[in-house]
Structure 1
Amino acid sequence: MSVDIGALAGILRHAAKAEILPRFRRLDAGMVKIKTSAIDLVTEADEAAERFIKAKVAALAPEALFVGEESVAADPALLTALADADLAVVVDPIDGTANYAAGLPLFAVMAAVVSKGETVAGIIYDPMGDDWMIAEKGSGTWLRRPDGEAVRVQVAEPAPLADMLGCASVAFMPAGSRATVLANFAKVRIVSNYRVAGHEYRAFVSGHTHFLGYNKLMPWDHLAGTLMAQEAGGYAARLDGSPYLPHHVDGGLIVATDKDSWEALRREVFTY
């Protein structure tokens, strides 16, 4: 069993053009809802795009389990099913919903393909730039454009800790450790947070940053990007050094240019 990755990439683009972009900067208050907190939003566009993608995936790969961010909000058991599925498609209809709802042009549509507990493909589509970052296991990571142009990307060369640029989120770190990690960020050159993991991964695999750091690990946020990072030559592992797998939702994650950089970041920065 498999999924046509080119066709799946096209579905994400079609969903963006049909459901996401027409609503961008046109959301009224009734089209934006709070899910678990003020920083966890869902919009009418998220829900419409996920319905669109789910219907198209059902036609493309009827045997695949569909795991979408909004579907899981309605049925949390889908996350449990992901661990045992022979084939699954995991989708974030709008990654960076807070940016989208605020009218900021930095959001993405993401999908990952999971086969027997392993991520085998990932796609991050940028509706504003109209291009995809795509990785398939063993085939590298590629920037692909609608005209067929494809450029292979690689992570940056390793840098000393004091020269590292990176992206990290402290929002879901343990409260008792957050101040320590924030203070430790002084040991690197720049730390940013775009509030959209998809673009943080795209910047990393393109060689523009040296690390990423996260605590909460929902599969639609990190499966595609982690595979891309590895296929682009980077190193990724949870805080205890174990591999990040599709069924993991916690345990933290550091993505770095190489293992030595990962170890330095774990020791000096992400010390919770």
Structure 2
Amino acid sequence: MIDDFLDGSLPAVEEAVRKAAAAEIMPRWRQLATHEIVEKSGPHDLVTVADRLAEAHLTVSLTALLPGSVVVGEESVHADPAVYAALRGDAPVWIVDPVDGTRQFVRGEPGFCTLVALAVRGEVLASWTFAPALDEMAVAVRGRGARLNGTAIRAGSPARGAVLKVAMSHPDYTTPEEKAALLCLDTEGVEARPCGSAGLEYLAVARGALDAVAFSWEYAWDHAAGLLLVEEAGGAHATLAGVPFRVTGANVLPFTAARDQATATRIRTLLTAP
């Protein structure tokens, strides 16, 4: 059933993502009122009316496209943490981050995106990364490659001897152990900076504009779409335990995704230095 769906419904999913952004996100970009922005766990964890309405829009449209599927979205899990368990169930799961890069969205910057991935029993089969303010749509299907605005993309490998450019979790928002690991990236041959929208950082890796990411949190909605995109563009990812990241959780953090296996291995080796 899933193979048939992937064979025939990819354009419909892309259209659903575009419609949700057009209806609920873009009309509110640079138009948000103060009361439409709420702190969840703190000033660095924001939600807006656009996040909530876009996720509701996608929940209706995506489950209609694939009867029997369910949605695990950032806002639905915030309302009911038990929803997250669906990632380990048998039903097809849409993993949704309606506005990834909410801080950028709130500031009126274009660096935000909508992330959608389709997974079955913990395996991500397809993903959509849509940056509406940039008019960029990246689609990846397991075993079929990655495309950006319809054109195939490859991550390639960094130039021999080049300084590796890495986007990472901000050390101030991590545990002491994770902070120590991330600070090991402050070394010769690596240029690390705090990340922006995780989805757009993954896209940068997939298109070869960024060499790697190093993240210390594992919410599936932030990573599922981007990890498949990087994989299908020829990249690789690994947790501190040396195994690929699992969207179902229980990963040893931090983890990295990179343009190629050699770069992923190098970044992981640095992260294990503490």
- What TM-score do you get using the length of structure 1 for normalisation? 0.91
Query: Which amino acid in 2 is paired with 1:212?
Result: V
Q: Which moved more, 1:240-249 or 1:38-47?
A: 240-249
User: 1 CA distance for matches of 2:161 and 2:236?
Assistant: 16
Contact 2:245 2:251 in 1 (8 A): no
In structure 1, the partner of 2:35 is 30
Alignment check: 8 A CA contact 1:181 1:271 kept:
no
| CA distance in structure 2 between the partners assigned to 1:56 and 1:74 by the alignment | 20
Cα shift at 1:177: 4.6
Match of 1:186 in 2: 187
Partner of 1:209: 210
- Report 1:39-58 matches (<5 A): 39-58=44-63
* 8 Å contact from structure 1 (residues 167, 192) kept in 2: yes
Judging changes above 3 Å, is the alpha-carbon distance between structure 1 residues 109 and 249 closer, same or farther for their aligned structure 2 residues? farther
Structure 1 gaps, min length 5? 145-149
Tell me if the contact between 1:156 and 1:208 (Cα under 8 Å) persists in the aligned partners.
no
Q: Return the offset for 1:174.
A: 2.1
SS at match of 2:242: coil
Q: 2:181 and 2:243 mapped to 1: Cα distance?
A: 23
Tell me the amino acid that sits aligned with residue 210 of structure 1: D
- Contact 1:236 1:243 survives alignment (8 Å): yes
Q: Is 2:249 aligned against 1:248?
A: yes
1:143-199 Cα distance to aligned partner (Å, 9 max, x none): 12xxxxx21101131345761112111354322452563353233342233420111
Partner of 2:74: 69
Q: Deviations over 1:48-74 (max 9, x none)?
A: 111111111122112101111101111
Measure the CA separation in 1 of the matches of 2:109 and 2:250: 27
Cα–Cα, structure 1 residues 271 and 115, in superposed 2: closer, same or farther, change >3 Å?
same
The DSSP-based 3-state class of the residue aligned with 1:184 is coil
CA distance in 2, matches of 1:69, 1:180: 27
> 1:180 & 1:123 partners in 2: Cα distance?
30
Mapping 1:191-202, distance limit 5 Å: 191-202=192-203
In structure 2, what is the Cα distance between the partners aligned to 1:211 and 1:270? 16
Alignment check: 8 A CA contact 1:125 1:133 kept: yes
| AA of the residue aligned to 1:202 | L
DSSP-derived class of the 1:63 partner: coil
Q: Does the C-alpha gap of structure 1 residues 269 and 81 become closer, same or farther in structure 2, counting only changes over 3 Å?
A: closer
- Give the residue type in structure 2 aligned to 1:260: A
**Distance in 2 (alpha carbons) for counterparts of 1:234 and 1:133:** 15
- Whether 1:93 and 2:94 are equivalent positions in the alignment is no
CA distance in 2, matches of 1:26, 1:230: 36
Q: Which runs of 4+ in 1 moved over 4 A?
A: 159-162
Q: Deviations over 1:15-48 (max 9, x none)?
A: 1111101111111111001111211110011001
Root-mean-square deviation (Å): 1.9
- Structure 2's unaligned 5+ residue stretches are none
Task: Name the counterpart of 1:234.
Answer: 235
Whether 2:12 is the aligned partner of 1:7: answer: yes
Q: Which residue of 2 aligns with 1:219?
A: 220
Measured in 2, the distance between the counterparts of 1:242 and 1:161 equals 26
Query: Contact 1:185–1:269 at 8 Å: present in 2 too?
Result: no
> Deviation at 1:250?
4.3
Give the whole-Å Cα distance in 2 for the aligned partners of 1:55 and 1:127: 20
Give the share of equivalent positions with the same residue, in percent.
Answer: 31
Shift of 1:86: 3.0
Distance change (3 Å), C-alpha of 1:233 and 1:180 = closer
**Whole-Å Cα distance in 2 between the matches of residues 223 and 183 of structure 1?**
25
Query: Does structure 2 retain, via aligned residues, the 8 Å contact 1:133–1:143?
Result: yes
**Alpha-carbon separation, structure 2, partners of 1:216 and 1:34:** 19
Does the 8 A contact of 2:170 with 2:195 survive in 1? no
Tell me whether 251-260 or 104-113 shows the greater mean CA deviation: 251-260
Q: Which residue number corresponds to residue 259 of structure 1?
A: 261
- TM-score normalised by structure 2 residue count: 0.91
Q: Given residue 75 of structure 2, which amino acid in structure 1 is its aligned partner?
A: E
What's the CA shift for 1:226? Answer: 0.5
**Given the superposition, is the C-alpha separation of residues 21 and 82 from structure 1 closer, same or farther in structure 2, using an over 3 Å criterion?**
same
